[in-house]
Structure 1
Amino acid sequence: MRTVLDDEVDVSYSQIYVKSEDASPFGDMGDMFGGQCNGLCGAAWQGTLWLVTGLFYGRVGFRVEVHDERPDVDEGWEEIVEAPYRPVGSASLVEWGGGNSWDLGLADTDYRVRYSASGMDRAADAHSRGDDEPMIDRYLLQFWPCPPEPDRVVKQTSPAAAYWHKHVRTLPPPALSDPDEEVRWKAELDSWGELGKRIAAEMAAEEAAEAALWDGALPSPALMGVRGEARDLALAEQELTRALVAVGPDRQRRIAGWVARRAYQEIGIAELDWVAPALDAVEAGEALPPPFDLVGGAWKRLQSEPRVPPRIAPMLRAGVDQDSPVRRAVGTLYAALLRTPLHAVLAALAEAVQAFGADARFPLAELKEQLGVD
C-alpha cells in the first residue's frame, strides 16, 4: 500500500476532484454522476472523479491510498461508496478552482475507487471552517486494480449523504464526448483555469464585504451559517452576538430554551399542563410531545384552550400562517430546536423581538444582563 496524501486539503462548494491530464472537461454534475446510484463519488466521466464533501468551504481531513489489491472495508467510516475509474494520462487529486494538486502515480489500467467519509452532517451544518477551528469532516480515497464494475453505496448513515444519493439517481447518464471536439476541449482547458481564478477573486471580495459588516472581522463559520431574521438580529446586536458565540454551544442551547420559556411566560401560557412538558422537552433536548410535534396542532389546541389570557385570545383566532405577536412568541419554541445551537438561540431571540419589541425588557435587556453586555 502506498500513501499519496494524509493531510488537510481545501474544498470549495463541497467539491474536490481527481483529474487526468488528457481527460475531456465535463459540463456539470449530470456529466459526472448521471446514471449512478451513489452521490458522493462521481465517476461517470472518463478519467475524472467528482468528490463531494460535507463542508462547503474550508479545510477537511483527506487521505489517499493506492493498493495492490482490494483493501478490507473499514466499518468505522460513516459513509462508504465505490465506483470504477481509469485515468486518461497522469491523474492527480486537485482542489477546486485550480488550487493545490497531488500526483496519484496511477498506472494506465482500470481501478476500483472507494470513497469513505465521516462527519458530513456536522460539516454541512457548519457550512465553513476557519483556519483556527478543529477539523469537522474527514475522507479516505482508496484505489486498487479491478475490472470495471458498477458503482455502489456500501454504507450510508447521514442525511447529507442520503440527499446526494437520492439526487443523482434522478440524473440521466452523460452523453459521450464527441471525438471531433477534443481539440476544442483542449483549448478550453486554459479558460477553465482563468474562470477558477476569477471565481476565487469573487469569493475573496465576498468575504471582505462580509467582514465589513462585522467591524472588519470575518465571523465564525457557525455565525456565517445563520440566515434570515436571526442574521439580521446578529448584525444589529453584534456585542450580544459576540457574547453568545463566546459562551459555546452547550450554553447557547440552554439560552435558546430559556428564551422560549420566557416568551411563553410573557404571553401567559407557560404553566398550562399541556404546554409545560413541551418547554421542558426543549430545555432537555428531547423530542416535542403532542400537540407541539406539529406547529398546526399546537396552534389549534391554543385556539380551543379556555384558559388563555383574554389579551391574547383575539390573536389566536387568526390562522397559524398569519403574523402576530402571539404567533411569534409560540415560534420561539420551534426556533430553539434548530440543529446548530448558535442559530437556534439567535432565531429564538429574533422571534421574541418580533413578538415583544426590541425595546421591551424581555428578551434583549434580560439576556444582556445575564451575559454582562452593556
Structure 2
Amino acid sequence: MTRTWLGGAANEPDHPFGVSTLPYGVVVTGGQPQPAVRIGDSALLLRPATEALLPEHAGLFAGGNLDAFLAAGHDSWVDVRTAVTGWLTDDAHRELLEPLLIPLAGLPAVLPFSVADYVDFYASEHHARNVGQIFRPDSDSLLPNWKHLPVGYHGRAGTVVVSGADVRRPRGQRKGAEGVEFGPSKSLDIEAEVGFVVGVGSSQGRPAPITDFTRHVFGVVLLNDWSARDIQAWEYVPLGPFLGKSFATSISAWITPLAALETARAPAVPREPAPLPYLDDTGDSWNLDLSIEVRLNGELISRPPFAAMYWTGAQMMAHMTVNGASLRTGDLFGSGTVSGPERDQRGSLLELSWGGSQPFTLSDGFARSYLADGDEVVMTATAPGPEGARIGIAEVRGRITSALDGTG
C-alpha cells in the first residue's frame, strides 16, 4: 500500500481518504473558498501547491470552485492526480506542502462545483420492483420499458445543496381522506443514491457513447434525493416527479474521481433482454462495487449495495445523450435509489416501511415510517482500493427542519 509522509490514520488501509482516494473539494480559509484535495482529515490547498510545483495547471485552481478543473479534461485530471500523489508520498515535498495542509475539523462544507443540469435515474431493479409491488400489487412490478432503457427525469439544479445543509420539510398538495389538502408533507423520505459529476461537456446533436464515459465524467458523490411521497403520489401522473422532488437534493462536499475507482469496477449484472447496441457494455462495464451505509439519527438502518444496480453510470450517460442532448461541465446525474435484494439493503424509507404499512422501530423506541422533524440522515460509502486499501466516497448528511408556517 502506498504511504504518505503525513503518517497517522491516513496510512491505515481502512482509512477511506488515504493516498489512493484523493477526492477534490473546496475549503474556506482566510474567508476565501479555495480548491483542495483531501488527504486523511486534512485538505491540501491546490492553488499555492500548483503555483509552486505544477505551474502549467495553476490556473485551474485560481477560482473559488472546481469548475475550471472539471472542464480541463482527462489529461489534466491525470496530470494533477499523478502530481499530487507524488507530492504526498515523497518526503522531499514535505517542508513546502505542510503549511498548505488545512485541518478539516470545524470547517464549513462548500458545494464544490456549479451544478449545471440535474437528471435523476431509476436504475435499481430491486428498488423498482419494490416500488411496483407497493403501488401496483396486482400487476407487473416493472413497467414494459424498464429493462430496455435507464428510466429518468430532469430535476432542478438550483436546489442541489451540499452535505450538512438543513432540509426544510416541503409543503404542497396531497390527496387526503376528504379531498385535496395543502400542507407540510407527511411522508418525507430519503433516497440513497450515487451521483455522477460531468467534467467535459459534449456537443448538441452528437451522442456521448459508453466508451467516452471517462472522457466526460470526472467522478462521483453520494446523493440523497429527498422525496415527499404524498406530494409526489398526487402530482406525478401523467408527467412524472415535480414538486415532491425539487425542494432539495443533497450531495457530498468532496468528489471522488473515477481514477480512484478502477479497482472497484465490477461485472455487470445479468440483463435480459440484451440492451440495444448503444447501451451494450459487454467487456467494459462501469458497474461499481460501492458499499453504502445509511444512518438515521446515528443508527444504521440500511446497507444498499451499488454493485447490484441494473444500469451503470456509463449507460445512463449514453442514454441521456442518445437523442442529441448535450452534456455541460457541472452536470449532475443520480443513479436513483440503490437497493439490494434483502430487507436491510433497501435505500428508501418507502421500502423499509413498505409504504408505511410496516413501520420500523429505532433503538430510541420510536417507530418510523417516514422522517420526523429533527431527524438527521447520514450516508457513507467505501469501495475496494489497490493493495487492500479502502476508497471513500465522502458522506452526505442532512437534517430535517420544520415546514414554514402558513398556507399561502
Structure of higher RCO (CA pairs closer than 8 Å, 6+ residues apart): 2
TM-score (norm 2): 0.20
Structure with the largest fraction of helix: 1
Structure with the largest fraction of strand: 2
TM-score (norm 1): 0.22
